[in-house]
Structure 1
Amino acid sequence: MAAALPDCYHGPMTKRECEEVLGRKNKDGAYLIRESESIQGALCLCVYKQKVVYTYRILQAHNGNYTLLTAGGLQETF
């Protein structure tokens, strides 16, 4: 039996739709998780701050752990 998805999960949604949803909230710290448009199987954590939506990709490793995609040269944390 699969675990229930959190309320913040919005499934397939474009970046533009995400920005509209979070923009309507107009609250720093508002966030949602959506499927990535550019990386199949990845998720995006989208966070609203000062009228800007910051997007962080969430990847699942082969062992089932999750990590945020990091900038080059930074150590990954699972």
Structure 2
Amino acid sequence: MMHSVPGLISKTWLSGIDTHSVGGFYAFDSLKNARAYATGMLSDFAKGSNASLTVKLFDGDVVAEASRGMNSPFYSV
């Protein structure tokens, strides 16, 4: 299912220790696609699961150079 999300480049799954929370870091090819996913499929899933949802958008291009300098796996490709 995730392979069909428009513009999705990668996702890192997270699980909160002792909090029963889940989440992740998503990378998209554009702000437009990121917003569409957050306000569409992700929001619909949260509503259908009676779960709370928090979304924060970050600009990865701002930190790209520093991330490459740290040999971040995401930017090593």
TM-score (norm 1): 0.30
| Greater share of residues in helix | 2
- The structure whose residues are more often strand, as a share, is 1
TM norm structure 2 = 0.30
